[in-house]
């Protein structure tokens, strides 16, 4: 049984939970972070000195942190050959898109856009900074869109770990009040993800409790 520490409104927890759901693993999740607190206690910091969520513990293993690393642990332990191949030359195809998503999509969306639009009071919102951040994000989403015009999934023909790292941000991207580019392959991909039960359950989670008015 997996134990997971992290509130379900955290985007990193969502990526992890989606992966757990796709792999059909049994788990127990504890609400930690933001309004729940609990991530600054000595017990929690002993598991993750960064005080961030998610943290995962698998049976007799030490607690793990850093979402990308945890996803790889789960993929290596419980995934199949398509989800995260063993052979290095196949695995790199997935890893490059997974890494790219964390560095370019998550980093250019969550704090610069989502936080400014949802987690900032309207009177303090910096519209110019949001517009600039959207321009940067859209450069990268265009790369994803080009890839998705040729392939059903972000790393190719199969659903993989890279889809988790990339796709978990799309619910918020398509849901919040921002100007979006016309990226039709990306939209079709987002619709495909919504056919997945684990995506609906763990990613399409209301973020209203995070909103600052």
Ligand X SMILES: N[C@@H](CCC(=O)N[C@@H](CS)C(=O)NCC(=O)O)C(=O)O
> Does residue 101 touch ligand X according to CB under 6 A?
no
**Residues numbered 51-70 forming contacts with ligand X, rule: CB under 6 A:** 52-53, 66-67
Per-residue buried b or exposed e for 38-72, using 16+ beta carbons within 10 Å of the residue's own CB = bbeeeebeebbeebbbbbbbbeeeeebbbbbebbb
Which SS3 state, helix, strand or coil, does residue 4 take? strand
| Angle subtended by helix axes 88-100 and 67-78, to nearest 10 | 150
Among 21, 33, 79, 85, binds ligand X (CB under 6 A): 33
Choice between 69 and 92, CB closer to ligand X: 69
Measured torsion, CA atoms of residues 154, 155, 157, 160, in degrees rounded to the nearest 10: -90
> Does residue 205 touch ligand X according to CB under 6 A?
no
> Does residue 8 touch ligand X according to CB under 6 A?
no
> Does residue 11 touch ligand X according to CB under 6 A?
yes
Query: Measured between alpha carbons, how far is 163 from 156 in angstroms, rounded to an integer?
Result: 10
Stretch that binds ligand X, among 10-18, 92-100, 119-127, 170-178 (CB under 6 A): 10-18
> Does residue 169 touch ligand X according to CB under 6 A?
no
Chain residues binding ligand X by CB under 6 A are 10-12, 33-34, 39, 52-53, 66-67
């Amino acid at each position: 049984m997996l134990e997971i520490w992290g509130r379900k409104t955290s985007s990193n927890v969502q990526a992890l939970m989606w992966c757990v759901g796709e792999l059909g693993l049994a788990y127990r999740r504890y609400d930690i972070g933001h309004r729940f607190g609990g991530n600054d206690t000595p017990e929690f910091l002993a598991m993750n000195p960064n005080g961030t969520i998610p943290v995962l513990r698998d049976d007799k293993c030490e607690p793990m942190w850093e979402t990308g690393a945890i996803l790889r642990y789960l993929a290596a332990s419980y995934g199949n050959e398509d989800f995260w191949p063993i052979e290095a030359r196949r695995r790199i195809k997935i890893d490059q898109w997974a890494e790219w998503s964390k560095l370019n999509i998550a980093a250019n969306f969550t704090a610069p856009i989502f936080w400014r639009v949802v987690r900032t009071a309207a009177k303090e919102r910096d519209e110019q900074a949001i517009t600039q951040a959207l321009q940067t994000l859209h450069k990268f989403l265009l790369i994803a869109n080009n890839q998705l015009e040729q392939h059903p999934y972000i790393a190719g023909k199969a659903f993989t770990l890279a889809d988790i790292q990339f796709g978990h941000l799309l619910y918020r991207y398509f849901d919040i009040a921002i100007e979006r580019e016309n990226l039709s392959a990306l939209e079709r991909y987002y619709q495909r993800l919504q056919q997945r039960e684990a995506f609906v359950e763990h990613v399409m989670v209301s973020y209203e409790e995070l909103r600052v008015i």
